[in-house]
Structure 1
């Protein structure tokens, strides 16, 4: 496995590194990572959870649907890029990104009704900074969210520091195959 770039490297360089590392990992990390989420979310009283439909290489959190009311997102591009929230089971069409998404007319659910958000990423750092795919969708969605935020990622993709910008939203917890742990962001600001 190659060493990660320096923290001040461009995000494009970090994305190339993370995709390279991801390609060497267990192709089905879900069975090692998501079992830690069930007791954690229950302990925090979560009932309605915004999850994600996994892209190849991402841990699949869909197995939590029998324990929680899962929601998922649809990416919208007009008038500006943003995510809308919908019931999990409405995700029946393929998105341009390669994951299932709800159709454009699916019933919407307000973010204010969500107890916890599970976030995928190419990488996270120990302070909760998320390296996404570059669209800023989750940063815009979570700008004012004060509930529980949990990054879901293989341990090999957790690094000491990632490049961060002022608009980047940090997660409060990370879940890996080693378990769930608080990030340094949790001691600075509650998300």
Structure 2
């Protein structure tokens, strides 16, 4: 059973992990929808994530777009740096591949679209992440397309929202890509 809206985020995270554990892999369908969406918006340089267990895998987009990925840095304060996709060769503390510390960095203002993972999203584009706030620190001021990537079963009417949360403008599921009402042209 889905938590109540005023339930704390840890309860929502438990719920989302349980639901996600029982889902079929939507990666192929989501990737096909994203490919068409990104093409239609003229995106070339795309920030994507290296999938953790249970997240839709977007690796197949690397054959058509210049993919970038992130490295989590924890000092002096937690933040993400962007790097070419192919440089992700070492496991992160979270379990996904990441670029090594000395990999060449790419500035965020050169990115056309950012594809963001989550445990769940709501229809307004609010992201339930893992609790580190990395994307919420990265995205303020980002002018490109922001797309939440999520299985349809983890798209809910509303999630708890904090003032620092950066909602996405688009949501990609196995059913297609839809606007959240915050959509960029």
After TM superposition, is the score higher than 0.5? Answer: yes
Q: Match for 2:169 among 159, 167, 172?
A: 172
Moved over 4 A (4+): none
| Alignment root-mean-square deviation, CA | 1.1
| Other-structure match for 1:136 | 133
C-alpha separation in 2, matches of 1:8 and 1:185: 23
| Other-structure match for 1:100 | 97
| Other-structure match for 1:24 | 22
1:161 aligns with 2:169: no
Q: Offset at 1:165?
A: 0.7
Q: Match for 1:48 among 38, 45, 57?
A: 45
1:89 aligns with 2:77: no
Deviates more, 1:31-40 or 1:104-113: 31-40
1:73-84 equivalent positions in 2, closer than 5 A: 73-84=70-81
C-alpha separation in 1, matches of 2:36 and 2:4: 35
TM-score (norm 2): 0.98
C-alpha separation in 2, matches of 1:64 and 1:33: 11
1:66-77 equivalent positions in 2, closer than 5 A: 66-77=63-74
The secondary structure found in structure 2 opposite 1:184 is coil
Q: What are the superposed Cα offsets for residues 107-135 of structure 1, whole Å, 9 maximum, x if unpaired?
A: 00000000000000000000000000000
1:4 aligns with 2:2: yes
Q: Which runs of 5+ in 2 are unaligned?
A: none
Q: Please say if residues 119 and 128 of structure 2, whose CA atoms lie closer than 8 Å, have aligned partners that are also in contact.
A: yes
Number of aligned residues: 185
